[in-house]
Amino acid sequence: MKLTGSLDILILLAILVSIPSLITANSAVVVTKENFQEILNSNELLLLSFYTDWCRFSQILEPIFEEAAAKVHQKFPEPGRVILGKVNCDVEELLSDQFDILKYPTLKIIRNGLISNQEYRGQRSVEAFVQFVEKELSDPIKEFHRIDELTNAEVGDGMVIGYFASKDHVEYDNYRRVASLLRDDCRFLVGFGDLTKNLRPPGKNVLIFRGDPSIRNQKHPYAEYSGNMTSFKELTAWVDKVCLAMVREVTFNNAEELSEEGLPFVLLFYNKKDLSPIQEFKNAIHAQLENETRVNFLTADGELFKHPLFHLGKSMDDLPLIAIDSFVHMYLFPEFKDIHRPGVLKKFIDDLFSGTHHYNFHLALDAQEKSESTIDPAEIPPVVRESKFKELMPSKHRYTLVNRTRDEL
């Protein structure tokens, strides 16, 4: 009796002891400079949380991230698929520097061992993390089984189409890896075997790009890849070049990422009921500003971004309209229809960089104060307001922002 009792306790103890080790196996992996390289090389997907113990947002994230790691581990137990890892930035300064961490917590996404500056910026909930991993691990390439599926496919901003002899080929593996890296920038399709036999030279696989057919004056309306089919680097560079749209849609999901690119926004606010201004805007930019790299050209649903619109003194009835947001000020482009007059939109952008907008703005303020207009009506400066889009930059309500100057001491 006594013996059994103590045996019970021993068994209970054994269970208690084994629980923590079970949790460890299922929780976020502690990533250090010692194990980093191996984890990097041996996993399809890594989601790394760069945190510090003293950061409030890191503390809130901690249990959520641990639970997400356990759920992800349950769903994808096969080794080599996915790891949720955490890096303590106070301890791992080398890793923190390597990833250029300027805010805590920063969640970095690494696919196929390739370090990029892509970040997870979605909701920080267990469900959202699990959904993100599921989407990332799903096949980025859509297979077509009939040619009319291909001809009827929505091109969107552009698509890459592969004609391959078979799935079991190192060249297809390479295409799949590149597509998984750039899955947010393009659509990817593939057709195999007899179906695409007439579309490729005998014994060869082919990759082509098709751009949005409704845009005139595109740099790359159609392109065929002529590089090395097994080179990950070369194919990535090609897809990146042909797929990167000059004009992108801004939403609440990508606004933070777009703002971190650091370039002023040139925004078209449109009304969802009439999408033709989007086409006009894209055509004008491809025709006149294809070499402009100082700004981000974006389209914004006026309903979604009513706040900045009202801030400019405008409403849905005034759409379409164009404005520049420099993250300091917003400048309203006077007349939408002038985008078709060559050079007008370009001058508006040039005026931002030369400081003319800013100068005119103060000139107008002074004139107003003296209540006498000294400005030629033809030179009336655009409506200026404080930036609204700066509110979409990484927020101190979501991150502990690190002071850059700290590292330069």
Ligand X SMILES: *[C@@H]1O[C@H](CO)[C@@H](O)[C@H](O)[C@H]1NC(C)=O
Binding to ligand X by residue 230, rule CB under 6 A?
yes
Q: Which is nearer to ligand X, 70 or 285 (CB)?
A: 285
Please give the residues from 141 up to 200 whose contact with ligand X meets the rule CB under 6 A. Answer: none
Q: With contacts defined by CB under 6 A, name the span among 101-109, 139-147, 194-202, 226-234 that binds ligand X.
A: 226-234
Report the alpha-carbon distance of residue 158 to residue 185 in Å, rounded.
Answer: 9
Question: Closest CB to ligand X among 53 and 290?
Answer: 290
In the complex, least distance from residue 240 CB atom to ligand X, rounded to whole angstroms: 17
- Whose Cβ is closer to ligand X: residue 104's or residue 270's? 104
Q: How far is the CB of 374 from ligand X (least distance, A)?
A: 36
Report the candidate in 18, 39, 137 with the shortest Cα–Cα distance to residue 86: 39
Cβ closest to ligand X, residue 226 vs residue 405: 405
- Restricting to residues 386-405, name those near ligand X by CB under 6 A: 403, 405
Shortest approach of ligand X to residue 405 CB, angstroms? 4
- What is the contact mask toward ligand X in residues 30 to 69, using x (rule: CB under 6 A)? ----------------------------------------
Work out how close the CB of 32 gets to ligand X at its nearest, in angstroms, rounded to a whole number.
Answer: 28
Stretch that binds ligand X, among 82-90, 227-235, 236-244, 366-374 (CB under 6 A): 227-235
- Residue 252 phi, psi (nearest 5): -70, -20
Under a CB-based contact definition with an 8 Å cutoff, are residues 259 and 250 in contact? no
Strand order in the sheet with 206-211: 142-143, 187-192, 158-164, 206-211, 222-224
Cβ-based burial of 327 (10 A; exposed 0-12, middle 13-18, buried ≥19): middle
**Pick 162 or 308: Cβ nearer ligand X:** 162
- Considering beta carbons, is residue 66 or 171 the nearer one to ligand X? 171
CB environment 305-314: b (16+ within 10 A), e (fewer): beebbeebeb
End-to-end C-alpha distance for the chain, whole angstroms: 70
For residue 403, the minimal CB distance to ligand X (Å) is: 4
**Residue 342, CB-side half-sphere exposure with 13 Å CA sphere:** 4
Instruction: Return the HEC string of 108-149.
Output: EEEECCECCCCECCCCCCHHHHHHHHHHHHCCCCEECCCHHH
Token pair of 404 as six digits: 């850059």
Total number of residues that touch ligand X (CB under 6 A): 8
Q: Is 169 helix (H, G, I), strand (E, B) or coil?
A: coil
- Could you say which DSSP state residue 199 is in? G
- Rounded Cα gap, residues 94 and 44, in angstroms: 23
Longest Cα–Cα distance in the chain: 104
Q: Which is nearer to ligand X, 39 or 223 (CB)?
A: 223
Stretch that binds ligand X, among 130-138, 223-231, 253-261, 330-338 (CB under 6 A): 223-231
Measured from the CB atom, the residue of 371 and 403 that comes closer to ligand X is: 403
Q: How far is the CB of 409 from ligand X (least distance, A)?
A: 8
Q: Which of residues 281-320 bind ligand X (CB under 6 A)?
A: 288, 290-291
| Binding residue for ligand X, selected from 231, 253, 354, 368, defined by CB under 6 A | 231
Q: What does the binding site for ligand X look like in residue numbers (CB under 6 A)?
A: 228, 230-231, 288, 290-291, 403, 405
